[in-house]
Structure 1
Amino acid sequence: MKSIEDLCRSPARAQRPIAGKRAAMLALLPYGPPAEWSGKLDEILSATLPGVVEVMANLLSVIVLIICIYALRHLLFTLSRLLGRQRHPYIDIDCAQWPMITVFIAAHNEEKVIAGCIEALLETNYPPNRLKIIPVNDRSTDQTREIIDSYVARHPGRISPFHRTDGKAGKAAALKDALAFAEGDVIIIFDADYVPGRGLLKQLVAPFFDAEIGAVMGRVVPLNAGSNLLTRLLDLERSGGYQVDQQARMNLGLVPQYGGTVGGIRLSAVESIGGFRDDTLAEDTDMTYRLLCNGWKVVYSNRSECYEEVPEEWSVRLKQVMRWSKGHNQVLVRHGLRFLTSRQLSLRERIDGALLLFVFAMPLLLLAGWALTLVLYFANRTSPLVDLIPASVFVAYGTQGNFAAFYEIVIAVILDGNRRRLRLLPFNLLGFFVSLFSISYASWRLFVDSLMKREMIWDKTVRYRQGAPSQPEPSR
């Protein structure tokens, strides 16, 4: 019997050279492959691979096509923001018979920031007799309750706190309970770390004079953008997402998104769709699509700026993105089909809304595309598409990069008038990969949680501010 060494040196092996990438892989085996192994492998590959390879290649083509559609979408938004007609239909309303409104401040262990939000609302130019401020203290275990009560004592009649001591956890559940105390048909919602400007309430209320409007969203601007690299990158993301993406959708008559804070909702519209759902991690996205499916319109007001505190630690950012991903994909499963078939919406609204819903599914598709590319490459079944791996990576980055396309961020920074921030653009690749893998992991966790019937857990974003901040100047 011949040894393995003899087989490896046999003339039969020398007469049948193995070409391509498979040869490089087999050459890594100890002593190299015998001729018999190579022949048998060729038979197996010839019998099974063609059909599988064709399916994988077709699937990869579909993924790249979807990526290109998103790239064109972002390019369209950028051109609209840069060259198109800008729609600000309600921004000039300053004098009116202002309606009674209720402002909710969502708060859970917010002792570091709650004072700043309350003070800013007390300084607003909205008529005090038409404004009810309700801090929603949701089971806080720090000094949040004491701070709220101190403002109630100093400003009697202006603040009506809602101290929630039990019930289901989460912002949506707390707001659902607090709605019973609202007055008027318009509610404005802020997270406790937000600092509204003096004229912001009027700007957010003005669109509700239009009877078709169900929700209004303002622009979010980071308050702590200069703290470190992460906050600077998030500042770029916010600029691209609001200054370009949201405003372009407003310009083109598409689907602006209500963001859950720095925005308002018509109470009668909320009641008509069944109120807040307390079983979702993205109550804002859920509310947006339920309103749209029921014939209400959502408006974005780019000049209605409010200032927030963004995460300063990557671990906190990861939890935030994972929560958004789970909540957004929940909405995709629940309302995707209904939205696509809704007769209340135009075709372009349905297309744009569907693309918006699939944003948090794109990282999974992107990873799948990379995996298919590598499999086809090492299977020695390359094609012009597969050979363009570097191009695919950069197209994907430009499309998905940290939730705002690369060119959207560039235009947003230019429009904001602070071009020095453009030096940070290469670092966005870091944020892109962090988001890519964290969103993919969150999607997997959502699938497992749904399969195991587990309850979703709300991860609160950590606050960093010390004391009540002063309001920064607008970035423009």
Structure 2
Amino acid sequence: MTFFDLLTALSDISLVISVLGLIFVAGGFLALIGINIFERLRGRQLGRPLRRLILTEADLPHVLVQVPVFNEPETVAGALAAAAALEWPRDRLHIQLLDDSSDETSAIAARVIGELHERGFDVLHLRRGDRSGYKAGALAAGLAHSNAPYVAVLDVDFRPPSNWLRKVMPALIADPKASFIQSRCEFANAGANWLTRAQGLMLDAHYVLEQATRFRAGWLFQFNGTAGVWRRAAITAAGGWSSDSLCEDLDLTVRAEIAGWHGLFSMDPPVPGLVPDQVRHWRVQQRRWSNGFVQVARKLLGQIWTSDWSKRRKFSASILILVQAFYPCVAIAIAALLTSVTLREGDSTAYLPIIDLIAVLMAMVAVGMTLTPYVILRRGSFSRYIATVASLTPLMIFVSLSNAPSILKTVFGADDSWTRTPKAAVVVARIAAPTDRIGRF
């Protein structure tokens, strides 16, 4: 075999392996789409509706609201105000600002917290000597200063409606084996530009199709790191927050499930936040998530497959944890395809079936995952939907090519640092309450 033949064979093998990876990821999404179609045909959803206890004021437990922050001067005051506005008995509502900032954020926060103290709110301004463990380290440090049995986590750019705890806590309290309840998230700046519209489309699909369907089907689904409330006993049973992954939320979710707990998902009320409005910031966010998922896979996939879970549950969990394989698979497939076609002097005939397969899979997943949420949530016109969904393919290719090297390094054991995703301060004032255009699922 000549060197030319060897190079061609290696390129073809790489192409086949990457395409198989894409089929694996697409298969998981197609399964979720299929479940939704099945539910609509039978006229009834899988699983049982959330059970919500009727609680008297005396029944309401102590709740700790944790707000991690690092250099967010534009959003910190609003975050504290939103936490204080939650409708919960003041003597049982405890707020922690977990402040690792090194800029004026801390001074702004101190002024707001002083005003809240004067109004009788229990607010702790916790500042650490360093950022060890990043967000996970801050959350763990906060828990050491409270014994509240329930812990709400809110990123600094999220603004829960005032009745949020009143709506979700009864369901969490009603299920003694529920580790957390995750709320659907809205994004107040989703209409700011073409990038935020694309993210809004994808994130609607994530919450309405992926998260909600996984919950109803009894599959593993993740805590999203914000807009959720944890039962402290579940955090303890899982071993607490861990900083050995950039996705501390997924890491804790999986460990809690292995320990015998399960999550709950609530469609309403949604909790509004922000998405990055610049490509460079979005790319950093996607890289952090992708590397974090790889780290969780390296750490916990073995434990999942040696657990006493059913094969179906193990497989569905693996699909979730390995979903970020999409990005390196796309990058490798493009590189291998271009190499193979070049080595064959530009003749792509042999690869047309593979190209067609990838195109069909991407179209089925893109439309199947996004159209239903777009219609249910009444996001806009059909022409706007077509234009937005058409932007997803180039976006996915861009982020795949730009982040693939970092992801592959993480696969082979490289570490990465936790990087904050900047959000646009100009739209923060718009986040006050959930949008009025929310439909029912």
CA distance in 1, matches of 2:427, 2:340: 54
Q: Match of 2:68?
A: 106
Task: Give the one of 126, 143, 150 matched to 1:179.
Answer: 143
Find the counterpart in structure 1 of residue 370 from structure 2. 409
Worse overlay, 390-399 or 111-120: 390-399
User: Which one of the candidate residues 302, 310, 327 is aligned to 1:346?
Assistant: 310
State the aligned residue count: 429
Q: Deviations over 1:366-412 (max 9, x none)?
A: 33334444455555599997322442342342366xxxx32221000
Q: Indicate the residue corresponding to 2:362 in structure 1.
A: 397
| Maintained 8 Å contact 2:68/2:139 | yes
Partner of 2:437: 475
CA contact (8 A) 1:236 1:409 kept: yes
Alpha-carbon distance change, 153 to 351 in structure 1, aligned in 2, over 3 angstroms? same
C-alpha distance in structure 2 between counterparts of 1:138 and 1:309, whole Å = 20
In the TM superposition, residue 415 of structure 1 has moved relative to its aligned partner by 1.0
Farther off after superposition, 253-262 or 139-148: 139-148
1:142-221 residue pairs with structure 2 within 5 A?
142-143=104-105, 144-168=108-132, 170-206=134-170, 207-221=172-186
Equivalent residue, structure 1, for 2:333: 369
Letter of the 2:300 counterpart: H
Choose 407-416 or 158-167, whichever is displaced more. Answer: 158-167
Q: Which amino acid aligns with 1:106?
A: P
What letter corresponds to residue 325 of structure 2 in structure 1? A
2: CA distance between counterparts of 1:68 and 1:472?
31
Aligned partner letter, 1:89: P
Show the counterpart of 2:79.
117
What is the alpha-carbon root mean square deviation over aligned residues? 3.2
Counterpart of 2:221, as a letter, is: P
Equivalent residues of 2:25, 2:325 under 8 A apart? no
Tell me the CA shift for residue 289 of structure 1.
Answer: 1.1
On the 8 A contact 2:113/2:123 being kept in 1, the answer is no
Residue 389 of structure 2, aligned match among 428, 434, 439: 428
What SS does structure 2 have at the residue aligned with 1:111? coil
C-alpha deviation, 1:71, in angstroms: 4.9
Counterpart of 1:131? 93
Quick one: which amino acid aligns to residue 174 of structure 1?
A: A
Secondary structure in 2 matching 1:327: helix
Higher RCO structure, 1 or 2 (CA under 8 Å, sep 6+):
2
Report the counterpart of residue 15 of structure 1 in structure 2: none
Q: Report the equivalent of 2:20.
A: 62
1:155–1:420 Cα change, 3 Å: same
Corresponding letter in the other structure for 2:293: H
Rounded to whole Å, the distance in 1 between the matches of 2:355 and 2:155 is: 41
> Are the aligned partners of 2:190 and 2:275 in contact in 1 as well (CA < 8 Å)?
yes
Query: Which sits farther off after the overlay, 390-399 or 132-141?
Result: 390-399
Distance of aligned partners of 1:445 and 1:44 in 2 relative to their CA distance in 1, 3 Å threshold? closer
Pair 60,165 (structure 1): closer, same or farther in 2 beyond 3 Å: closer
Quick one: structure 1 residues 368 and 197, their matched pair in 2 at CA, closer, same or farther if it must change by over 3 Å?
same
Residue pair 1:231, 1:311 contacting (<8 A) in 2 also: yes
Please list the CA deviations of residues 80-123 of structure 1 after superposition, one character each: whole Å capped at 9, or x if unmatched: 56454155633644535222111111112222122223222323
The whole-number CA distance in structure 1 between the counterparts of 2:76 and 2:39 is 35
Gaps of 5+ in 1: 1-42
Gaps of 5+ in 2: none
Contact 1:63 1:369 in 2 (8 A): no
Q: Give the TM-score of the pair, scaled to structure 2.
A: 0.86
Name the CA distance, whole Å, in 2 between partners of 1:297 and 1:449: 28
Residue 52 of structure 1: how far off its partner (Å):
6.0
Residues 8-407 of structure 1: pairs in structure 2 closer than 5 A: 44=2, 55=13, 59=17, 62-63=20-21, 65-66=23-24, 69-79=27-37, 82-83=40-41, 84-85=44-45, 87=47, 89-90=49-50, 92-96=52-56, 97-143=59-105, 144-168=108-132, 170-206=134-170, 207-343=172-308, 345-377=309-341, 386-398=351-363, 405-407=366-368
